[in-house]
Structure 1
Amino acid sequence: MIALQINKKEIISLWIPIGIIILILFIAYPLALAILCGYFLHPITNFFYNKFKIPIILSVLLTEFLILSGILLLLFFLVQSLIDLIPLIHSHVVKIPVIELKRLPIFSMFEEEFQTILNNIMNNLLIYITHLPSYFFELFLFSMGLFLSLHESLKNRLWFLVYLPKKTRGFSERALKKSSGVMNKFISVEVKLFLLTFILLTIGFAILGLHQPLKYAFLVSLVDSIPFLGTGLILIPLSIYFFLLNQHTVGIIILLLYVFVQLTRHIVESMLWSSSMQIKAVHVFFLSAAAILIFGVIGILFSPFIYLIANKWIGITKSS
């Protein structure tokens, strides 16, 4: 009877408040994202405030300005590069022998698939356009929330934990510290992999004699660094294009470049995660493969936390 009363008390005082908070965070996700971004961007604001003695409000505004400027510059570069690519793609597409390809049975299958993909893109685009006012409102709330979160984080970085029950504050604080450490390692590994892919593709494109190899290597490397995408999204269609033009040598070289970049990237990625998480590279490979098999492609995002759990598990088994 006493145990039952204790359980009821824990449910009322501990789990119900946590459930309500999680539900609110899912519904008001722009505000939840603003709080998390304020927590992770705190070191930048703190650097301006403590190192250069800039007032709190100016430090927060400078942090937001730097983040926003970086995003806008990246978007501007991508849009400009895509605008430059359109005439280039058009000049190459007109060279494809469409009349000869229509005679092949596989052409109709690809045509239907392409039409389906194009219809899905147009439908999603229309949905996004109709929801633009709500997106702007959410962006406004996120910007205001990020400003207030960064401002409050300079006083107390874990200010938002005050709404959690006392029993879970310590655990939540430790979890956030571990998560920030994993995020720092994840960003460090991704930046190194981006630079590696960029260098390899620049050399490959320069050898092939492609126009502006630096720009296109940067674009492909950027696509490769985005979760769920990869160099194959661009290099494989490019290889197929040269095969269709009967330039088999160039198509094979691009295909070999894709395989070489992917193998090198995966080997270096395993080594980097092995060094960061202090687990063997072979374990990193099997854990990554297991994460993809269990969670699907989204398992890529969970991999760093799985490495951390594996590291802790190895420590527990050694001590026991």
Structure 2
Amino acid sequence: MRTKEGVLYILTIFFHLNRGDFVKMRNIKYFSYERTINIFWFIFYLVILWFVLPVSLAIFLSFTTYPIINFLHKYCKIAYWIAAIIVEILILSCIVLLIIISINSIILIFPEIRDTLQNFPLFTEYESIFMQFLQEKSLSIFDSIVVYTANLFQIFMKHVIEVFIFLVAYYFALLETRKSRYWFFQYVPKKYRHEWQSHFSKVMQLFHYFVFVEFQLFTITLLILCAGFMMFQFDQAITKAFIVAFADVLPFFGIGVFLVPMSIYFYFNGNTFLCVAILLLYLFVQLTRQLAESMLWSNTLQLRTFHTFFISAASILLFGFYGILLSPLFLFLAVKLKEKSIFEQ
């Protein structure tokens, strides 16, 4: 009985996000039939979108990139369908370019890391079986990175059909977007269309700002690391800075994955100056990034940095890679919960 009451209480909170009367929520009569049907329709559409994920992503991407196509069509006097093809080619080019840069960076850095591990003092001074085993395991980690990259390429090839469907759906979605940016809501029951469209608009605004913030943080991290590595006179400073900055964007990674082991390496090599300098660079980047992130998010979400990280991490753990795309939705729900103050006594 307690479990049932708890579930009903949680559902009541969820369905009354846009209402101000939370004192009456504990009464089951306020759990209206219309709101129940509304949420069931919403869940039904989410399930459908999940099963046709390539088409869903194409629709959402067309909504996001419409301003670019409209600019090319309106100010550059390019035919709309040609502008759609140009934008699609630009997006594919950016993705391919990012993959090429990442693979090229790994190819350039991998031999240097491998040689460094092979010549590491702890490996050369001791000849015991334990140290040989440790060396082999350490080297196998970097071998596995190359194998993992190859596996990703194989997985991509297996999903060529899905990629093709995504590209075709994206092009036709762009053509439909010309008539109305919210054209896909015509398949939503008219009774819920306005409410869902309003929430969708807010979520997409938050998602666009989320991407913009991540790009700004990546740029700040990259510039600081480039300046620091050039001051330290590292070889291929820009390439190394790009790898470290890109790792900072990935979920549950960070610049510490590279900078802390690098600092330890220089310490064991007797180069105390570089050891301390890299640690200071690491602290400076982290401090700058946290301050910038707090400033960028504070005016929009009014959520603490820890809460933002916790929600994003939970989304990624629950839904994997797609949790990155769903994070803005959960952040939006968190903002709505905070606005209504439903957890205050």
TM-score (norm 2): 0.74
Contact 1:287 1:307 survives alignment (8 Å): no
Q: CA deviation at 1:148?
A: 0.7
Match of 1:253 among 266, 273, 277: 277
Match of 1:24 in 2: 48
More helix by share: 1
Q: Alpha carbons of 1:32 and 1:231: their partners in 2 closer, same or farther (altered >3 Å)?
A: same
> What is the rounded CA distance, in whole Å, between the counterparts of 2:56 and 2:127 in structure 1?
52
Taking only aligned residues, the RMSD between alpha carbons, in angstroms, comes to 3.7
Q: Alpha carbons of 1:99 and 1:211: their partners in 2 closer, same or farther (altered >3 Å)?
A: closer
> What is the rounded CA distance, in whole Å, between the counterparts of 2:312 and 2:80 in structure 1?
43
Q: CA deviation at 1:213?
A: 2.1
**Matched letter for residue 198 of structure 1:** L
Q: CA deviation at 1:181?
A: 1.3
Match of 1:170 in 2: 194
Contact 2:54 2:165 survives alignment (8 Å): yes
Identity of aligned residues (%): 29
C-alpha deviations, 1:127-185, integer Å up to 9, x for none?
973x5554111111111111111111111111111222122211221122112211222
> What is the rounded CA distance, in whole Å, between the counterparts of 2:311 and 2:178 in structure 1?
36
Query: 1:78 aligned to 2:105?
Result: no
Q: CA deviation at 1:269?
A: 0.6
> What is the rounded CA distance, in whole Å, between the counterparts of 2:176 and 2:85 in structure 1?
13
> What is the rounded CA distance, in whole Å, between the counterparts of 1:269 and 1:9 in structure 2?
37
Match of 1:62 among 86, 89, 94: 86
> What is the rounded CA distance, in whole Å, between the counterparts of 1:258 and 1:104 in structure 2?
35
Match of 1:100 in 2: 125
C-alpha deviations, 1:20-79, integer Å up to 9, x for none?
432222122111111111111111111112222211210110110111111122222222
> What is the rounded CA distance, in whole Å, between the counterparts of 2:115 and 2:299 in structure 1?
46
Q: CA deviation at 1:189?
A: 1.6
Q: Alpha carbons of 1:37 and 1:110: their partners in 2 closer, same or farther (altered >3 Å)?
A: farther
Match of 1:238 in 2: 262
Q: Alpha carbons of 1:15 and 1:81: their partners in 2 closer, same or farther (altered >3 Å)?
A: closer
Q: How does 1:65-144 map to 2 (within 5 A)?
A: 65-97=89-121, 98-100=123-125, 129=154, 131=155, 133-144=157-168
Q: Alpha carbons of 1:67 and 1:276: their partners in 2 closer, same or farther (altered >3 Å)?
A: same
> What is the rounded CA distance, in whole Å, between the counterparts of 1:315 and 1:267 in structure 2?
24
Q: Alpha carbons of 1:308 and 1:139: their partners in 2 closer, same or farther (altered >3 Å)?
A: closer
Match of 1:284 among 296, 300, 304: 304
Q: Structure 1 residues 100-109 or 168-177, which shifts more?
A: 100-109
Match of 2:174 in 1: 150
Q: Alpha carbons of 1:291 and 1:198: their partners in 2 closer, same or farther (altered >3 Å)?
A: same
Count, aligned residues: 307
Q: CA deviation at 1:276?
A: 3.4
Contact 1:221 1:231 survives alignment (8 Å): yes
Q: Alpha carbons of 1:37 and 1:8: their partners in 2 closer, same or farther (altered >3 Å)?
A: closer
